[in-house]
Chain A
């Protein structure tokens, strides 16, 4: 037998095997109608994978507390990896909605993916729960009856810091973020309240996404000598920025303020460089409530790492589903009634209790936090029950 035929012999079985697996999974998935299907659309590979992991962990914790059951109906998860690629958002959403017949779809992390998902799901029956992506438009100009959010709007997380900065006596501030939606919205919200309180943004720097060479910008900041700097960065970029700010010697000389994502889930990697940083966010590690303490202890016990904000948001997405199903006594097929009940719910979150606004975004308190020993500790509650203005929403 010649070489060519041998190669055929090895390759063909591989193909057949993989397609058989595909077929069997899709057949198995179709047999049970009773369970409640929850599609989970998060990044499990690529830059945002860490956030995807945390959200999924939080979600699983919430469901496990109730034995994966609500009103006697079993809750089943179907997970897909978005790879944080907006181009795949619609296809994957349709897969969860039309193919897997998901009643709820939880996702995503990335705002670009979120817009693609909403665009696809708005004409469908499934209910979408956003456990992170903060694009203002998702519960603003683009709000939909069947889209809820358990996380935040960009505006909410940065707006309070403007007032805090003015209270601290800063007059001239440089703002800095990656040049993408989330970053620009955060800077705009900060500027809105900072300018209203009499401050001035002397320079706004937008760094191409996902560039992490910050030295030129830090040198520029040093030459401007502002009273303080306000930044938005998250994940790997936040780690790099905070470290660079420290090694370039700016830390301690020009105060660094941030939207809370600067120190969320990143303090372990940032080390000493993050100590003492002030940020605002709708959660802090040291919130003094029994709910938060229990959540953090359970999370640590189950996943062997500390809970962060993303885990909280995933946990609340799980709680929201369970409470919603119980509110309609398991009869989730009537979507209008389900949505009506969801709008009335109060979620007992580790961050504190919250309700939904008309646009389905949490009305929640924002904390001023300081990094102490790697923990985001509460300095004070900056704004109580802050509601996103939901600009452009007609709900």
Chain B
């Protein structure tokens, strides 16, 4: 059974990761671009987790950045300051603590739905933002630093050095790939099919005996802990965390990226994140008033593309039915 939904997805994933694998060879002398692409990949992971939540589960949130920030802060807080720790062990810690937080938060926010859920997630993430911004111990508005990056050995075999930009890039790329495959497999599983059914027709799913709340809670926890993983990678990349990671603008921007990419398509998250970040990068180097052109392009895309960039790609390739 193939994990791909249609031809355009297959083509895109193939080309994206094929180019992704070799691109550092061409950029070897330019650390900046490797770093830039790494950070775009991290954002793509974050957006992908949001896309699953919004596009597949129908749970719209404006507080997803809370977990992005929490992921970074958890590592910075629990890792000893002047000691090298293991990346994989701390990945486990970061994701399980965030999952636990998501479980509690999800328990509260999933009692509401629609616009009210958007607002209550917003409220909680704003509270979290102010908790860290007002804190004395966690650096307040100036944030915290990570002085020593973790090592990545498994059973004593060390193959990635996180201080090396290319190595870090490959870690990000691998993470994105795993994340994509994970979501596609999840979608094909019986759990994923129930989630899809819940979005289409909650009443019928309930009538069939599924507990909507439990399924949604699990989806929420999964998406949130992956967002935390993305935040953890972000913190490691430049070695610092800041409350602005959880500002509502970050959540809103991620939602914009997911929409640009085409909601619910999962791979569209990569398209959306790269298109948005790419445009931002280009425009801000061309003019001080980059916001004007950014705004115009966003509006143009909304008006002309029905299913975002992945829909556009699908038309170009000539998929018969987008699913």
Q: Which residues of A contact B (CB under 8 A)?
A: 4-5, 7-8, 10-11, 14-15, 18-19, 21-22, 25, 44-45, 79-81, 85-87, 89-91, 94-95, 97-99, 111-112, 115-116, 119-120, 135, 179-181, 184, 208-209
Contacts and interface: CB of A to CB of B under 8 A. Distances in A.
Given A10-B304, A18-B283, A184-B140, 15 more contacts: A5-B315, A21-B282, A22-B281, A80-B284, A86-B142, A86-B242, A87-B242, A87-B250, A89-B238, A90-B237, A94-B35, A112-B141, A115-B240, A116-B143, A119-B238
B244 interface: yes
B238 A86 contact: no
B290 A135 contact: no
A99 B290 CA distance: 20
Interface in B277-323: 278-279, 281-286, 288, 290-291, 297, 300-301, 304-306, 312, 315-316
3 A-B pairs with the lowest CB-CB distances in the bound complex, closest first = A90-B238, A99-B32, A7-B304
12 contacts: A7-B312, A14-B300, A21-B282, A81-B288, A86-B143, A87-B234, A90-B239, A116-B238, A116-B240, A180-B133, A180-B142, A181-B141
Given A19-B278, A19-B282, A11 B304 contact: yes
B143 A112 contact: yes
A95 B143 contact: no
B282 A86 contact: no
Contacts of B315: 4-5, 8
Nearest to B69: A87
Nearest to A178: B141
Nearest to B283: A18
A99 B33 contact: yes
Contacts of A98: 30-32, 35
Interface of B: 30-33, 35-36, 39, 130, 133-134, 140-143, 145, 234, 237-240, 242, 244-245, 250, 275, 278-279, 281-286, 288, 290-291, 297, 300-301, 304-306, 312, 315-316
Contact of B297 (A14, A99, A179): A14
Given A119-B239, A209-B141, A87 B244 contact: yes
Nearest to A100: B32
A22 B287 CA distance: 12
A81 B286 contact: no
Contacts of B31: 94, 98
Contacts of A8: 312, 315-316
Contacts of A79: 288
A89 B283 CA distance: 18
A111 B290 CA distance: 24
Contacts of B238: 89-91, 116, 119-120
Given A7-B312, A87-B244, A209-B133, A181 B285 contact: no
Contacts of B244: 85-87, 112
A25 B290 CA distance: 15
A102 B313 CA distance: 39
A79 B284 CA distance: 9
Contact of A90 (B240, B245, B284, B290): B240
A238 B175 CA distance: 46
Contacts of A7: 304-306, 312
Contacts of B141: 86, 111-112, 180-181, 209
A101 B250 CA distance: 29
A115 B143 contact: yes
Contacts of A208: 130, 134
B307 to A, nearest CB: 10
A116 to B, nearest CB: 6
Given A7-B312, A80-B285, A119-B145, A91 B35 contact: yes
Contacts of B30: 98-99
A97 to B, nearest CB: 8
A125 to B, nearest CB: 13
Contacts of A89: 238
A136 B273 CA distance: 37
B142 A181 contact: yes
A236 B35 CA distance: 35
Nearest to B311: A4
A132 to B, nearest CB: 15
Contacts of B278: 18-19, 22
Given A21-B286, A112-B242, A179 B134 contact: yes
Nearest to A10: B304
A181 B282 contact: no
A121 to B, nearest CB: 11
A11 B305 contact: yes
Contacts of A120: 238
Of B133, B240, B279, the most chain A CB neighbours within 10 A belong to B240
Contacts of A180: 133, 140-142
A15 B313 CA distance: 13
Contact of A112 (B33, B142, B288): B142
Contacts of B133: 179-180, 209
Contacts of B283: 18
A18 B312 contact: no
Given A22-B285, A81-B288, A95 B242 contact: no
Given A90-B238, A94-B35, A98-B32, A18 B301 contact: no
Contacts of A115: 142-143, 145, 240
A184 B283 CA distance: 36
A131 B92 CA distance: 42
A388 to B, nearest CB: 18
